[in-house]
């Protein structure tokens, strides 16, 4: 049961990739593990969100004059379904909001940076 959000970001895949890595580098040690990378098209991470182990994936595709960045959270625990039931679906909405806020921050970081950086 994956949760996906997609944003259009003005910039190259390389700039988006660099902004993703800069954000990861500023995070606390041990909060994620890199599952796979394919520069500059995709990045998959193992993370724990609200106590639920998840795979967080970013897919970056070049489009006409911008990039399309898709972020996906894939919960990897049966607890997710139980939490969904107990919270009447609020956990999914919280995960959706995490994706939207994360993509908004990524968009702001990429679009605010000068094109030469």
**Domain harbouring 84, CATH code:** 3.30.530.20
pLDDT at 30 > cutoff 90: no
- Mean pLDDT is highest, among 56-60, 79-83, 113-117, for 56-60
pLDDT reported for residue 47: 95
Angle at the Cα of 110 from the Cα atoms of 12 and 39, rounded to 5 degrees: 45
pTM of the model: 0.90
Give domain status of residue 117, yes or no.
no
Give domain status of residue 91, yes or no.
yes
Residue 83 in contact with residue 95, Cβ under 8 Å? no
Decide which of 78 and 115 is more confident: 78
Give domain status of residue 63, yes or no.
yes
Q: Is 70 exposed, middle or buried (0-12, 13-18, 19+ CB in 10 A)?
A: middle
pLDDT reported for residue 88: 86
pLDDT reported for residue 18: 95
Angle at the Cα of 43 from the Cα atoms of 105 and 50, rounded to 5 degrees: 65
Number of domains in the chain: 1
Range of the domain at 90: 3-112
């Amino acid at each position: 049961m994956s949760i996906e959000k997609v944003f259009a970001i003005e910039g190259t895949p390389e700039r988006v990739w660099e902004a993703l890595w800069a954000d990861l580098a500023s995070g606390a040690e041990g909060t994620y593990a890199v599952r796979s990378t394919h520069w500059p098209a995709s990045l998959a991470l193992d993370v724990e969100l609200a106590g639920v182990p998840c795979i967080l994936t970013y897919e970056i595709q070049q489009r006409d004059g911008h990039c399309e960045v898709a972020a996906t959270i894939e919960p990897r625990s049966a607890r997710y379904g139980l939490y969904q039931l107990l919270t009447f679906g609020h956990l999914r909405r919280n995960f959706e909001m995490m994706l939207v806020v994360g993509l908004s921050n990524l968009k702001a970081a990429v679009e605010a940076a000068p094109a030469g950086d």
